[in-house]
């Protein structure tokens, strides 16, 4: 079901404030909610399929008092991200993908886009001078395999 105008504004404001994505870019995005999941896409629900999942990507999760971006949506936004981007080196990337938290002394706080070289790999979180990856386990395994075979 389409999100309320208030929730839509909250979502677009979050991405603008946290990641520098202009609200105008997200204006055309169809945004629907399914419980706490927020889905976005450029199309409309498919005929006969009554699910927000049919329109595109999960762009976030809406919890009471907080909104969490998804790794897949941050990766799709890629170079459009102009804030809250944390570049990581190969060894730290491996640690993060293995589930470790690493020391972080940068200025970013909260949810961040994890960047390796020129690619946004997914969502991370900076808290208490630590950085941790919030990339789904299956994607972490894929990335670790890619690093193993291309290093």
Please write the tens of the pLDDT for every residue from 23-36: 998 988 888 888 88
What does the alpha-carbon distance between residue 50 and residue 93 come to, in Å, rounded to a whole number?
Answer: 39
Helix (H) or strand (E) holding 143: helix 137-150
Read off the pLDDT of residues 78-101 as tens digits, 9 standing for 90 and up. 999 999 999 999 999 999 999 999
Indicate the SS3 state at residue 84: coil
The predicted model gives 2-20 an average pLDDT of: 92
Quickly count: other Cβ atoms within 10 Å of residue 13's Cβ: 13
> Which pLDDT score is estimated for 63?
83
CATH classification (class only), 82-150: mainly beta
Q: pTM, whole model, 2 decimals?
A: 0.89
Coil, helix or strand at residue 95 = helix
* % of the chain beyond a pLDDT of 90: 66
Domain boundaries, given as residue ranges, for the chain: 5-69, 82-150
């Amino acid at each position: 079901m389409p999100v309320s105008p208030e929730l839509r504004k909250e979502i677009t404001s979050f991405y603008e404030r946290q990641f520098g994505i202009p609200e105008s870019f997200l204006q055309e995005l169809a945004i629907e909610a399914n419980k706490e999941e927020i889905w976005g896409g450029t199309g409309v629900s498919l005929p006969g399929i009554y699910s927000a999942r049919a329109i595109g990507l999960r762009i976030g999760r809406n919890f009471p008092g907080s909104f969490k971006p998804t790794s897949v949506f941050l990766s799709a936004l890629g170079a459009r991200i102009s804030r809250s981007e944390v570049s990581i080196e190969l060894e730290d990337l491996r640690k993060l993908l293995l589930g470790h938290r690493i020391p972080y002394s940068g200025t970013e706080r909260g949810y961040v886009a994890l960047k390796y070289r020129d690619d946004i790999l997914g969502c991370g979180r900076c808290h208490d001078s630590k950085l941790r990856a919030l990339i789904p386990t299956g994607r972490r395994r894929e990335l670790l395999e890619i690093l193993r075979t291309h290093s």
